[in-house]
Amino acid sequence: MEGLVFDERGLIPMIVQDAGTGRVLMLGYGNTASLAATEATGLVHFWSRSRDELWQKGATSGNVLRVVDVAPDCDGDALLVSTVPSGPTCHTGAVSCFDAPGRQGFDRLQQLWQTIAQRLTDRPDGSYTTRLVEAGVEGPGRKVVEEATETLLAAKDHAVGAADDRRVAEEAADLIYHLFVLLAERGIEPRLVLDVLAERASGPKD
């Protein structure tokens, strides 16, 4: 990539972004060697400032970053690296190194939707999602009703302030997954649901 401006150490900031959600995942630094390795492999490589060596993101954890696009900013002294992450990006286990307290991580729902949409396209053998969709609207529809009931029962059994909220979370996760499959089977994208919520939020207040 021509026209890049490196600092006195021969480094350039690399801002890593999730191509699906647009969320900033991390900041690293690259040089000519790491950029060449990134281009050659399709996986993000950085240059470690502390160890003074080349390193591939996710080489140990498996949470690699697959490159979609690399683009310089207007001055050529920083790079925006659009990627598809294979797991949490931060070494803490968080999706992003910029996770803030109180953030709910709703971008994981985008990843779930992408997976379901891909199953709908590929129809892989042995896939539970495939079986649900091929049963027509009744397949995921029945599961939505079932999981909604189980979520309610789990919530009724749950003591507010209890140390373990896992059962309610698990039932709610099942409900969200099956609701997404129902939307996918009907060809309705979640953004339409979000548009409706946005319209209601901006509408008349009681």
Residues 6+ apart with CB under 8 A from 49: 9, 11, 29
Same domain, 29 and 113: no
Specify the CATH number for the domain of residue 30.
3.10.20.810
Give a yes or no: residue 39 inside a domain: yes
Give a yes or no: residue 20 inside a domain: yes
Instruction: Please say whether the beta carbons of 61 and 87 come within 8 A.
Output: yes
Strand pairing partners for 18?
Answer: 83
pLDDT tens, per residue, the chain with 206 residues: 678 999 999 999 999 999 887 889 999 999 999 999 999 999 999 999 999 999 999 999 999 999 999 999 999 999 999 999 998 899 888 888 987 666 677 777 888 898 999 999 999 999 999 999 999 999 999 999 999 999 999 999 887 766 678 899 999 999 999 999 999 999 999 999 989 988 988 766 55
Length of the chain: 206
Segments forming the whole domain that contains residue 182: 107-201
Specify the CATH number for the domain of residue 177.
1.10.287.1080
Same domain, 45 and 116: no
Ramachandran quadrant class, 136 (left: phi over 0; alpha: psi -120 to 50; beta: rest): left
User: Looking at the 3D structure of the chain, how many domains does it have?
Assistant: 2
- Give me the phi and psi of 90, to 5 degrees please: -75, 145
CA dist 150 and 1 (Å) reads: 54
Mapping DSSP to helix (H, G, I), strand (E, B) and coil, where does residue 73 land? coil
Terminal CA-to-CA distance of the chain, rounded, Å?
A: 56
Give a yes or no: residue 143 inside a domain: yes
Instruction: Please say whether the beta carbons of 118 and 129 come within 8 A.
Output: no
Same domain, 197 and 112: yes
